[in-house]
Amino acid sequence: MLCLTAPGQGSQKAGMLAPWLELPGASARLDEWSASSGLDLERLGTTATLQEITDTAVTQPLVVASALLGTAELRRRGQVPADTIVAGHSIGEVAALAIAGVVSEADALRLASVRGAAMSRACADRPTGMIAVLGGVEADVLLALENAGLEPANRNGAGQIVAAGPLETCDALEQNPPSRARLRRLDVAGAFHTRHMGSAVERFRALADT
């Protein structure tokens, strides 16, 4: 049995879509998805700078487009059996919905565009960030997050909790890290999966309900 997992934000890199454009049908798909998202995905995925595509409003549609292009190539090769399991992390969940046939690819790009833009506006309300906490004793890690004023936004597996909150609280955690743990700042624009994204929820829900 095959499991396809679609990544979330943070997997982006400059020129990420360039290799896919060499494959049959990829350019036509990107044209359709660009119309759905209101973004020039081909340019953003090939010649745009890393700084430009780090904007959440741009990153999320690009990450979804990348996952869908990869899946399209696997299907062209006949490598996606009917009983394939599909899952996604964060914005990857939207890609997974399309891969599983729950929504169309065009609608997935619409959802990603609205979600990314709404979360970008939420990020602008107050500077926030995320830190991966690797290792350490879970109880000690959670106490350190609480003391710093951070939320445990993601549990990405045993030994990794992602903390999120205002930048000053991220600084506080770095100054007083939990024992036996390593910290790594994530290349994201804000404290995703926390109350700091609350203003984006209604915008996304309104479109999802349609």
Quick one: pLDDT at residue 189?
84
Report d(CA 168, CA 128) in Å as an integer.
8
Is 3.40.366.10 the CATH number for 3-124? yes
Checking DSSP bridges between strand 85-88 and strand 3-6, what pairing results, if any?
parallel
Confidence (pLDDT) at 188: 83
Task: Report d(CA 193, CA 188) in Å as an integer.
Answer: 12
**Residue pointed to by tokens 């479109």:** 207
Q: Which of 61, 84, 76 is nearest to 23 (CA)?
A: 76
Give the H/E segment covering residue 5: strand 3-6
Residue ranges, comma separated, of all CATH 3.40.366.10 domains in the chain are: 3-124
Cβ(111)–Cβ(208) under 8 Å? yes
Alpha-carbon distance values, 75 to 20, 80, 94 (Å): 14, 5, 19
pLDDT, position 206: 92
Residue 167 confidence (pLDDT): 96
Output the pLDDT for position 54: 87
* Fold assignment, 128-189: Alpha-Beta Plaits (3.30.70)
Helix (H, G, I), strand (E, B) or coil at 17: coil
Range list for CATH 3.30.70.250 in the chain: 128-189
Of 37, 90, 113, 120, catalytic = 90
pLDDT in tens, the chain (210 residues): 899 999 998 888 999 999 999 999 999 999 999 999 999 999 999 999 998 998 899 999 999 999 999 999 999 999 999 999 999 999 999 999 999 999 999 999 999 999 999 999 999 988 999 999 999 999 999 999 999 999 999 998 888 999 999 999 999 999 999 999 999 998 788 999 999 999 999 999 999 999
Q: How crowded is residue 14: how many other Cβ atoms within 10 Å of its Cβ?
A: 16
90 is catalytic: yes
Chain center to CA of 163: 16
Please report, for residues 31, 40, 48, 60, 183, the alpha-carbon distance to residue 44 in angstroms, rounded to integers and kept in the order given.
Answer: 12, 6, 5, 12, 31
Distance between CA atoms of residues 74 and 49, nearest Å: 28
116-173 pLDDT, tens digit per residue, is 999 999 999 889 999 999 999 999 999 999 999 999 999 988 889 999 999 999 999 9
